[in-house]
């Protein structure tokens, strides 16, 4: 794979898991899938992927369509509501697969819930085989269990495939010492250990997910999804955002 990175210090990551919230597929304030937003994120990922010598896997959330706790509204029970959220991640994964293939990168969707007319079931060895063949692998269906989030799914899959890093693209520039949306003086943290992040209850990822990364020594890098070029920088090993190690 050719390297086209403008970065002087380019150190391509070997195996990467990129976690995107479902919000990556919409314009702010809207829900569902916005085709233009989908095209843009797919092109950015495809460009970043071509640049690095990495094996790329993706976990995409479903919150743009359905979030179990938020959207059940006391009418749909939690388990069914979470199951609907997991189905939402499959819808998003199929959309991203099409858009990535349109952008020229072969992609496979592996799901943790059985829906085999639409996507292959998740089998670790199968995922590794796809990566060997230069395909991007999208893990859909979350963990396959209610009461979890796609952050936990990302931490789980990253641990299972021995990812070198979990890249979490978010709405803000990284991890702050307090909520930057509420506190204008919140300070961006550049590096922090997992243990400190857990102890300080910094709200950038759920604690179960972070604990799994700690246990399996998967570093996490948090950066702003909306800053153009950030995915490429992160894939090429640049210090963008916050590193949790
Ligand atoms: N979900 C679940 N188990 C999982 C992953 C996800 O039940 O392992 C459900 C849960 O209801 C969640 C929804 O799917 O709210 C969408 O996932 P998430 O909220 O993590 O999406 P994101 O915020 O990343 O778009």
Using 50 as the pLDDT threshold, list the residues of the chain that sit under it: 1-2
Q: How far is the CA of 147 from the centre of ligand 1 (A)?
A: 8
Mode of pairing for the β-strands spanning 55-60 and 15-20: parallel
67 is in an annotated binding site: yes
pLDDT tens-digit readout, 7-34: 666 665 589 999 999 999 998 778 999 9
Q: How far is the CA of 139 from the centre of ligand 1 (A)?
A: 13
Q: Consult the annotation and say whether 98 binds a ligand.
A: no
Best CA proximity match to 59, nearest among 24, 13, 102, 98: 24
Ligand 1 centroid–CA 223 distance in Å is: 20
User: Going by CA atoms, what residue is nearest to atom 23 of ligand 1?
Assistant: 63
pLDDT of residue 2: 46
Name the DSSP class of 73.
T
**Domains of the chain, earliest start first:** 14-244 (3.40.1160.10)
Q: What is the pLDDT of residue 11?
A: 60
* pTM of the predicted model as reported, rounded to 2 decimal places: 0.94
240 phi, psi to nearest 5 deg: -80, 140
- Ligand 1 centre to CA of 148 (Å) is 7
Task: Look at residue 1 in the predicted model and tell me its pLDDT.
Answer: 44
How far lies 7's CA from each of 10, 23, 164, 223, 245, in Å?
5, 28, 20, 17, 23
Pocket test for ligand 1, best of 17, 26, 82 (most atoms within 8 A of CB): 82
Pocket test for ligand 1, best of 68, 92, 209 (most atoms within 8 A of CB): 68
């Amino acid at each position: 794979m050719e390297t086209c990175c403008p970065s002087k210090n380019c150190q391509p990551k070997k195996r990467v898991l990129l976690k995107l919230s479902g919000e990556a597929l919409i314009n702010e304030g809207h829900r569902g899938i916005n085709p233009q937003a989908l095209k843009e994120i797919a092109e950015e990922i495809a460009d970043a992927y071509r640049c690095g010598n990495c094996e790329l896997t993706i976990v995409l959330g479903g919150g743009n369509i359905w979030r179990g706790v938020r959207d059940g509204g006391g009418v749909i029970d939690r388990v069914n509501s979470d199951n609907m959220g997991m189905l939402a991640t499959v819808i998003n994964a199929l959309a991203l697969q099409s858009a990535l293939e349109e952008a020229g990168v072969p992609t496979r969707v592996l799901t943790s819930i059985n829906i085999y007319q639409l996507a292959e079931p998740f089998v670790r060895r199968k995922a590794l085989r796809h990566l060997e063949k230069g395909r991007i692998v999208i893990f859909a269906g979350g963990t396959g269990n209610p009461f979890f989030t796609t952050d936990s799914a990302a931490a789980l899959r990253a641990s299972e495939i021995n990812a070198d890093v979990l890249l979490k693209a978010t709405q803000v520039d990284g991890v702050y010492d307090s909520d930057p949306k509420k506190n204008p003086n919140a300070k961006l943290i550049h590096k922090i250990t997992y243990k400190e992040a857990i102890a300080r209850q910094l709200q950038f990822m759920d604690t179960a997910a972070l604990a799994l990364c700690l246990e399996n020594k998967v570093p996490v890098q948090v950066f702003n999804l909306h800053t153009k070029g950030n995915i490429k920088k992160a894939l090429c090993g640049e210090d963008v955002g916050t590193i949790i190690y």
